[in-house]
Amino acid sequence: MHRIVFLDRSTIAPQIRLRRPSFEHELIEHASTRPEDVVARLGGATVAIINKVPLTSAALAQLPELRLIAVAATGTDCVDKAYCKSRGIAVSNIRGYAVNTVPEHAFALMLALRRNVIAYRNDVIAGRWQQSGQFCFFDHPIHDLAGARLGIIGEGVLGQRVAEIARAFGMVPLYAAHKGRTGLGPLYTPWQEVLETSDIITLHSPLTEETRGMIAMTEFRAMKRRPLIINTARGGLVDEEALVAALDAGLISGAGFDVVTAEPPAPDHPLLRIAGRPNVIVTPHVAWASDEAQQSLADQLMDNIESFIAGRPRNLVEGAF
């Protein structure tokens, strides 16, 4: 009988159904797990389910029965994949589940910021409408998405879906060439041109050593059209102190972030210091988390486990097998 242990079940909403695998098993769920408790909780487990709990080589070395790490997310940077490969531990992840929820969240941020929804909402609550003495007032500029140039950093399935929605709004989507690279073909607009000509820049890249900190003060100074910066990908893609400085200097017009470098952030995190500004929206890493997307994730998670046990592994992560 297989022992399956989910180390951080609370990273999936409680209303989402996690079906039981079809093979004989014992399933143990923990709401969350501290790093020092990983080995004890995974003792005897053949399958570990994790979302963000780190699985280091030191911990994995003490888990000789472990055969599969089923990550309940797309990103697998919390797993020492090189060690898994050396030990023959398979690692699977979730793919394609967020093709609607993340782009929709990105556009929710764009619309709210371009139309100054937060500022006008705050004004209404404060009584400004009554004070205006007429049917409307114009304290904050409003801009359409139609006609705006949208710089998309990341041309994967999410970036492509963002471009599709952008065209429906009448926007001009531009796929940014990878920073520091040329000759990528006609799909791409040169990196510098995207920085200089975009009205909105939205990030949909993985976090790697190559992409870490790729938007910093040098890039902000190149943004001639004072764009909005939207990040629903990974916090480490942007130098967050530089982002605050860019806002203060008027180099960009606003920021909509669903992710930060350390989650949850400390109270003095750069983005939390400015979260109350009307041109800043910070959401708690929930762009992926529509009920529909979470249920798709949970179903795919169990599909991955069942397929592996049946000898037909799927969604295996490169570098870990």
The residues annotated as belonging to the active site are 234, 263, 285
CA dihedral 214, 53, 81, 184 (to 10 degrees): -20
Is the alpha carbon torsion for 179, 183, 188, 189 positive or negative?
A: positive
Q: What is the DSSP string of 180-238?
A: T-----TTEEPHHHHHHH-SEEEE-----TTTTT-BSHHHHHT-TT--EEEE-S-GGGB
Give me the residue label for tokens 């963000």.
52
Element (H, E) at 117: helix 117-125
For the chain, helix (H) and strand (E) counts, in that order, are 12, 12
Burial 291-313 (b: 16+ CB within 10 A, else e): eebbbbbbbbbbbbbbebbeeee
